[in-house]
Structure 1
Amino acid sequence: MCGINGIIFKKNDVDISKIKMMNSMLHHRGPDKSGFLKHKNILLGHTRLSIIDLTKNGYQPMSNNGRHWIIYNGEIYNYKEIKKELINKNYKFYSETDTEVILTAFIEWGAKCFEKFNGEWSLAILDTVNNDLIISRDGIGYKPCYIYEDDKYFAFSSELKSFYSINSSLEIDKANFGIASESLFYSSKTIFKNIEHLTQGRFIKYNINSNKKTITRWDFPLNNLPKISVNYKENVENYFSLLHEATKIRLNSDVKIGTSLSGGLDSSAIFSLLNVINSKSKSNDKLDLNPIIMNYKGMRSKNEAIELAKKYNKKFLIIEDQDEKIESTKKILAKLETAEEFFMQYNLYKNQKDRGLKISIDGHGSDEFLGYPNFFPELSVDTYNNLIQLNNAVETFGGQNTNTKFKKLFGIGTNLSKIIDFKTNVNSLNYFSNYIEADPYDSSYQIINDDLENLKYFSYSLNFTYLISYCGWFQFFLNKWDRASMSNSIEVRMPFLDNNVRLFGLALNSEHKIRNSMSKSILRDAFSKHLPKSIIEQKFKQGLSQHRFDINSLKYKEYLKLIIEEKNFKENNTWDVKKIKKDFDQNLNINKIWRLGKYYLMIEGFKDNYNSITINNDQENQLNNLTKL
């Protein structure tokens, strides 16, 4: 996976230094090569993390006909099948990359090609004859794509910080600043004015002559749900088969692959699959199955992780979580592009990089589809609603004896609540309202709005699962894993995100997710032969949590005091400095002030990064027209 950038100059003369600067700010996403393309008033930039076909044939921007050019961040795992289909249509290929397959597929099928891809991506394809730019994002939104637009520029990038190359004084949007991070993802918003996410499952078509822009949806998960058996045993077998195949196709690589292991159900399932696949197939010399185990305060599954590693005769490496040096906070927050303290996630992939890995195959992504414990109330609503509806039917059509029997059987009284209707309320409370004059938050558009009419015909549990998995919540967490890994030049592949696996999980009835009083029943039963009982019967859920600074300790309070006394903090017109200082001195709202301080550090980190960049002036030499090689 890589980094992509693009700038359309609406009014100004084209400034090549801006795309070079954007590329330089994404060097961590693609440290192997960088390049750019200029066509009329558009610049396309790319930084490459070499994964497949390590030769110069994989350089980007790439063309195989001189007309269409692509920059791409992601992996398409079924690209070999698509390549065979295109060869049968008499297309010629010049590289072994999935990038060229994507480009050729677009030339053949247009935007319909996105429906064929099984993978994750953000990409841009430029037609230099029609002068149309297509920017596309995968259906689940794993690979980021931010859009910046004002009266001078239309631009896009894999990360927020790159836009400092266009506008070194990005302005905070007071309506969004202070809204919960995950809430912003429900409507593809950010804390900055003029910057939004390209919503997952959509593509932009932009004509560089007319500056006309359209956004089209290409992914419709509710229209592609698989048929689910009423037989639980069949579903268990089908789920294992789907996850097995999803893991297998993610092993294609020309660089070293590793994994991590927490001892929890999800990571253990993927770890066991990797070992099963590797033992039954030709040995993969790129695959290192000696896992990293991240040990941290309060970890409850360390022993299980060690037990599983020993079961498969693997040498594990235990990494002890350590308190970050407080001086590193600004740097790490700027890399993660969030005020959330996802430092353990960052350190996990830093250690993967130190081991010489470029890819980590991990067990993220099952919670939203198979039932996270916090979601149990919502997943049980169908059962409750069915009981209410049956009771109403009994009262209408049943006799007195039937009515009495029904109420006695279920312990139902006379005063029953009404059926619970599905609602999509998003938390729009502004956490910083004490310190900023916030404009009203516009929550009128939510991603799920596009599907509300269709969702009426599905169960409450599917409505809820769809909301959290496709419409914002999950995308917030995917963003976390992307930044934590790509900050360290590590590509993370997640079998649970496979198109077929996640659609199966979305369609699956809650009764097959929560069974015999256990969560994720289908996953437990699918791996009962591959995992020890200590993991299969695990009755707690634990993932890598946020690092938590003890902001009430003297050490960190002193650090926070230094922050609010900085010149740039005092001169920032976004917040009321006097009110913040007064509350801090009175020991009030310390957590709020600390969170605001972290946003300040993140933004200052962006500026530091921008000011420290030295432009690579050799970038133009990396343009890749395959037909001329």
Structure 2
Amino acid sequence: MCGITGFINFGGHNRADALSRLKRMADILRHRGPDEEGFYVDDHAALGHRRLSIIDLNSGQQPMAALNGQVQIVFNGEIYNFLEIRHELEAKGYRFNTRCDTEVILLGYVEWGEQCVAKLNGMFAFAIWDNRYQQLFLARDRVGKKPLYYYHNGQTFAFASELKALRVGDLCPDELDLEALDCYFSFGYIPAPKSIYKAVKKLPASRYLRVSKQACTEIRYWNLSFADPIPRTLDEVTEEFAALLDEAVRCRLMSEVPLGVFLSGGLDSTLVAASMARVMKTPVITNSIGFDAQDFNELPLAREVAEHIQADHHEFIVKPQVTDILDKITWHFDEPFADSSAVPTWYVCQMAKQKVTVALSGDGGDEGFGGYTFRYIPHVLESRLRAMLPAVLRRPLFGLVGTMWPRSARLPKPLRLKTIFENLAVSDAEAFYRDLIWLRDETRTALYSHDFMQALHGFTPIEMVYPFYAGSDAPDALGRSQDTDIHFYMTDDILVKVDRMSMAHSLEVRSPLMDYRILEFAARLPTDLKIQNSKGKLLLRKLASQRLPASLENRPKLGFSIPAAAWLRSELKPVIEQILLDKYSPIATIIEGKKIRSLWKEHLEGSRDHSVFFWGIMMLGLWKSNCYDSSEQ
């Protein structure tokens, strides 16, 4: 895994000045690639690279050149099918100087041009400068495992794996994007193509970008189709999936450095570990962490799985020093990011790095196979009810009931119906959006200042979600929900979290369940092979019953979590209160001071749990304090 950065000045630049700037940009990415650095500069282009050596340790340095230096590449990621593509290119007469996947991409581009990306199975972000045509070609993998930011002002185009490289290169105007801030307060993260800065964008997943002096053109090269599910039996699809999983794991085992797996004790990571045990000739190195608070400890089940697959198992008990690491976490994220599971992810990556340089994970199982039943099941039921009533009756009826129904955690669970009534009054797409966000419309309106609302000019974050949901070809609400989660939540929350926290420790993470072949297979499954009897991931549970201890098959999902509410009332209380008093914080101009103080009082008293909201407030404030620090955290 690596860090890439660079810029193109179509009007030309001084080579010495360009190299000086480029070195600053690459140096701040050294955590992504501590092993080597490399640079290429000509009269128009400057490409920089930081390398984390995984394959072909003695060669494969970047930038890498072809056609007598006319074509140059910097690449971040791994291509799992590079040997197959290499053999295809060799049959066409190409000769290779290295054993690495970078050269395969480079010569693939020479042979197939922009269509080379469709042949790649892996996680990647790369940039190719083609001096023959004075053109830059950039691409990002199908689900966005590897990041790519860019800035374009017509004359200069700059790109980087992380925003901080653009900042130290003075290629990142720092005007905040107010719509991005609105998205942050709604989702807890900033979805592509937006970034926290108005002038900087993220290249969305499954896209490539063609940049010349005349134009900057974005093209989508892959779509996930949920149309026309194929009727099959559970036994048939389990057999097919087992073979797909084993192949996805096998092709991710190529490494010349120590390799292992994150083992949380949950269904997804244990299936990946069990598959590794089937295809590896040596014991799997498993890494598990537990927290000193018993409620947040999955070590006993992870240990049971490790014994079952005869793994080389390593356990780490963590007492989180949250006040010591939050500045580091916010520095590595570059943008405000409010998913509190970043804290345990930081620790599991830190601990895993002590034993391995590459770790496989179970990420992707929930999105691909219907694991988010707490959202999916109510959404599907609501969708069926909507279909039974015409909108002209449903909207006023349920809209009125939803407005009048009380919202209170003190109500018995069967009577907490306000959200359901409100959702029944709107479309499927809007209801799904409401299930994703933290701030309901009425809360958003009450919290935001008048000036901030005016500055948004009518923008609402549903504009970021709606195209995914409404544009899906899925025949039902479950498929549309999964389609949206894969391209929105998974890409801009889960994968951002894993990339930044792993790269902070120079650890590469590979995710077999996100193999595009598995995602395409899962998308074509009938609904009753995903969720049945209120349980999700039916197919994964079936395979687990064949490969894993019986105690795991019906275990509820836990995942990484932390006692955020308690921390905010104790050791993090001074941090929050200092941020709330900062009159220069973005929060001071966005949120009504009186309202936020009222919510904070409720949280401190324990009458309401506002931990999700105040974790977001805290991370925004810490980002403001750390975002311009150019030193490694």
TM above 0.5, one fold? yes
TM-superposition CA deviations, 1:424-454 (whole Å, max 9, x none): 5645865962597252136585476378466
Residue 245 of structure 2 is aligned to residue 243 of structure 1: yes
1:529 deviates by: 2.1
- Seen in structure 2, the aligned counterparts of structure 1 residues 254 and 379 have a Cα distance that, compared at 3 Å, is farther
Aligned counterpart, 2:183: 179
Instruction: Give the aligned partner of residue 160 of structure 1.
Output: 163
Which residue number corresponds to residue 452 of structure 2?
437
Instruction: Judge which range, 112-121 or 171-180, deviates more.
Output: 171-180
Instruction: Give, in whole Å, the separation in 1 of the partners of 2:222 and 2:75.
Output: 19
Match of 1:408 in 2: none
The structural deviation recorded for 1:248 is 0.8
Conserved 8 A contact 1:360-1:490: yes
Give the AA of the match of 1:433. Answer: Y
Which letter does structure 1 place at the counterpart of 2:3? Answer: G
Residue 41 of structure 2 corresponds to which residue in structure 1?
A: 38
> TM-score, structure 2 length as denominator?
0.81
Percent pairwise identity: 27
Deviations 1:278-336 (A, max 9, x none): 2xxxx35xx75243343453136432211111223334322223232514321222123
Would the aligned equivalents of 1:31 and 1:49 in 2 still touch at CA under 8 Å? yes
| Corresponding residue SS for 1:29 | coil
Per the alignment, do residues 594 and 442 of structure 1 end up closer, same or farther by CA in structure 2, a change over 3 Å counting?
closer
Q: Residue 196 of structure 2 aligns with which residue?
A: 191
Partner of residue 203 from structure 1, selected from 188, 199, 208? 208
Residues 326-341 of structure 1 mapped to structure 2, 5 A cutoff = 326-337=323-334, 338-341=337-340
Cα 1:248–1:473 shift into 2, 3 Å: closer
CA gap 1:583/1:162 in 2 versus in 1, 3 angstroms: same
Structure 2: state its 5+ residue gaps: 390-422, 604-609
Q: Which residue of 2 aligns with 1:506?
A: 523
User: 1:226, 1:245 → 2: CA distance?
Assistant: 25
Structure 1 stretches of 5 or more lacking a match?
A: 390-416, 615-629
Q: What corresponds to 1:483 in structure 2?
A: 500
Deviates more, 1:444-453 or 1:488-497: 444-453
Matches within 5 A, 1:117-136: 117-136=120-139
2:607 equivalent in structure 1: none
Residue from 477, 480, 483 that aligns with 1:463: 480
Residue 449 of structure 1: aligned partner: 467
The question of 1:170 aligning with 2:174 is answered yes
* AA matched with 1:423: A
Q: How many Å separate the matches in 2 of 1:58 and 1:574?
A: 46
Report the Cα distance in structure 2 between the residues aligned to 1:577 and 1:522, rounded to whole angstroms.
Answer: 45
Change (3 A) 1:13 1:517: closer
Q: Distance in 2 between matches of 1:93 and 1:227?
A: 42
CA-to-aligned-CA distance 1:24-79 (integer Å, 9 cap, x gap): 11110001111121132221111111111001x21111013222111111111111
1:289 to 275, 285, 289: 285
**Do residues 366 (structure 1) and 379 (structure 2) align?**
no
What residue number does 1:111 align with? Answer: 114
Structure 1 SS opposite 2:8: strand
Once residues 578 and 267 of structure 1 are traced to their aligned partners in structure 2, the CA distance between those partners, rounded to angstroms, is 40
Matching residue of 1:215 = 218
| Aligned residues of 2:376 and 2:478 also touching (Cα < 8 A) | no
Match of 1:215, SS?
Answer: strand
Stretch of structure 1 that moved more, 493-502 or 380-389: 380-389
Larger radius of gyration: 1
1:540-551 pair list within 5 angstroms? 540-546=556-562, 548=564, 550=566
Please report the RMSD computed on the Cα atoms of aligned residues, expressed in angstroms: 3.4
- Is 2:145 the partner of 1:142? yes
CA distance in 2, matches of 1:103, 1:580: 54
Preserved contact between residue 188 and residue 338 of structure 2 (Cα < 8 Å): no
Q: TM-score w.r.t. structure 1 length? A: 0.82
Alpha carbons of structure 1 residues 102 and 325: separation in structure 2 relative to 1, 3 Å? same
| Residues 555 and 545 (structure 1), Cα distance of their counterparts in 2 relative to 1, 3 Å cut | closer
Change (3 A) 1:573 1:259: closer
State the shift of 1:551 in Å. Answer: 5.4
Contact 2:361 2:509 in 1 (8 A): yes
User: Is the contact made by 2:296 and 2:561 (CA closer than 8 Å) also made in structure 1?
Assistant: no
Which residue does 2:414 correspond to in 1?
none
Query: Does the C-alpha gap of structure 1 residues 303 and 45 become closer, same or farther in structure 2, counting only changes over 3 Å?
Result: same
Are 2:262 and 1:260 aligned?
yes
The 1:330/1:150 distance shift into structure 2, 3 A limit, reads farther
Distance of aligned partners of 1:300 and 1:322 in 2 relative to their CA distance in 1, 3 Å threshold: closer
- Conserved in 2, the CA contact under 8 Å of 1:146 and 1:197? yes
Which residue of structure 2 lines up, in the alignment, with residue 627 of structure 1?
none
Change (3 A) 1:154 1:436: farther
AA aligned to 1:4 is: I
Residues of 2 paired with 1:39 and 1:202: CA distance? 27
Number of aligned positions between the proteins: 569
AA at the equivalent of 1:603: K
